[in-house]
Amino acid sequence: MFRAVLTRFLTKWKSYRHRFVPWIALNLSKNEKTLRHVTERSKDKLVPDEQVSRTLLHLFQSLHHAGIRCGDDHSTLQSLGFCIDRKPSTLPSAGSGVFVTRGFVPKGALVSMYPGTVYQLHEPVLLQSIRNPFVFRCIDGVLVDGNDKGLSRVVFRSCSGRDRVGPFLMSDATWLTDNPRNPLAVGQYVNNCSDERPANVCYQEYDVPDGFPVELRRFLPNVNYGHDAQRPLRCVVLVSLRDITAGEELLSNYYTVVQ
């Protein structure tokens, strides 16, 4: 009985530890590849915000005009040249992962988005964070809760419904289901790299500009916890560090966020 409990705990810990700040601080210097990656990648954005906006607008306009059904990746392939999807990870005990299933991802492309509720420094997230390995911390301390179950799920749905403007939804809650309307909204399931399996994608912070079309905001998989019209919506996107071919699993570096 004790061994079974210990095994379950260790399995959960292996998944969670890369998001536990004290553990990261203690182990960062032990991973030379990671330390070099942080030094080289954490200062400048790999892709300008304007390019991120253009990519999202192109995809969202395609989804909007096509009236795409959930699970249909035709518009995604036409817009981006590739498709991604969740599948069992190739890493031991990693659970789900994210793979390129069709097409080709060139270096420097926006590959995925990290969905979830966005919390500022002063906003309460304690209860939502308990036993939650999907809380992502940005460089400035802003948190993105990408958990699609439990209290996190309830909070996102509540905030998403609150922010409706007339007939327009301001966010996409379908990432909480198995068939997200925005096919890129699976970034919370991208697994951590290792020395043997280096990262092929990198996290990058992106604030949605004020001029982003209101009718396309329904495809954004993020929502502010606080109702503050003056605060830009923080998103986290994943950008490819090299060319990625169909069949490859996306692997990130949990230590690194590009500001």
Please state whether beta strands 201-207 and 257-258 pair in parallel, antiparallel, or not at all (unpaired): parallel
Q: What's residue 11's pLDDT? A: 66
In the predicted model, residues of the chain with pLDDT beneath 50 are 21-23, 25, 30, 32-42, 68-71
3-state SS class at 213? coil
**Contact between residue 112 and residue 98 where contact means Cβ atoms under 8 Å apart:** yes
Task: Give the residue among 249, 220, 248 at the shortest CA–CA distance from 232.
Answer: 220
Q: What's residue 153's pLDDT? A: 96
Task: Give the residue among 154, 216, 153, 145 at the shortest CA–CA distance from 187.
Answer: 145
Q: What's residue 42's pLDDT? A: 46
The DSSP symbol for 135 reads: E
C-alpha span between 143 and 139 (Å, rounded): 9
CATH code of residue 167: 2.170.270.10
238 membership: H or E segment, kind and range: strand 234-240
**Contact between residue 137 and residue 120 where contact means Cβ atoms under 8 Å apart:** no
Output the DSSP codes for 75-114: HHHHHHSEEEEEEE-SSTT--EEEEEEEEEE-TT-EEEEE
Domain hosting residue 77, numbered range: 2-258
Q: Look at the chain and report how many structural domains it folds into.
A: 1
